[in-house]
Amino acid sequence: MKHYNKKFIREYIENHKEQIESVECFMREDWSWTCDTVFKDGEFCKGFDWKGKYLEVAGITGSTWATPTMEVEFKDGRTEIIECWIDDGDLFGQNYEQYLPLYKAMKDWLNSEVEE
């Protein structure tokens, strides 16, 4: 599962703080429902837990299918779209049990010998 990489996000902002107007984080494939501003006017926005295990933005910390992304708006008018995620190694997310039969079948099939 891909989670927001809060360390990367925070360090990026800190390193470019003087040039940044604002930073929004969102899931790229579902932007309209998952977007929130994390930095604006020289300050980190209130309501975000930068010390917890994962950064929660718009009620979610990560996704099995969407890509955690940040949009950085600079004071000179430039905008950068930057992927900002870490993979926790959980391919299927919290509902992994429902995928185990499929995963096992695929693994067995891939490991089977090919008949010629």
**Among 53, 17, 22, residue whose Cα is nearest residue 37:** 22
Q: Report how far apart, in Å, the C-alpha atoms of 97 and of each of 3, 61, 102 are.
A: 20, 20, 10
Q: In 10 A of CB 86, how many CB atoms?
A: 16
Query: Can you tell me the distance from the alpha carbon of 77 to that of 107, in angstroms, rounded to the nearest whole number?
Result: 49
pLDDT greater than 90 at residue 8? yes
pLDDT score recorded for residue 102: 64
By residue count, the chain amounts to 116
CA–chain centroid gap for 7, Å, is: 12
Indicate the range of 3-17, 24-38, 84-98 predicted with least confidence.
84-98
Q: Which pLDDT band, with edges at 50, 70 and 90, does 111 fall under?
A: confident
CB-based contacts of 17, cutoff 8 Å, min separation 6 = 42
pLDDT score recorded for residue 113: 63
pLDDT greater than 70 at residue 86? yes
- For 24-59, write each residue's pLDDT tens digit: 999 999 988 999 999 999 999 999 999 888 899 999
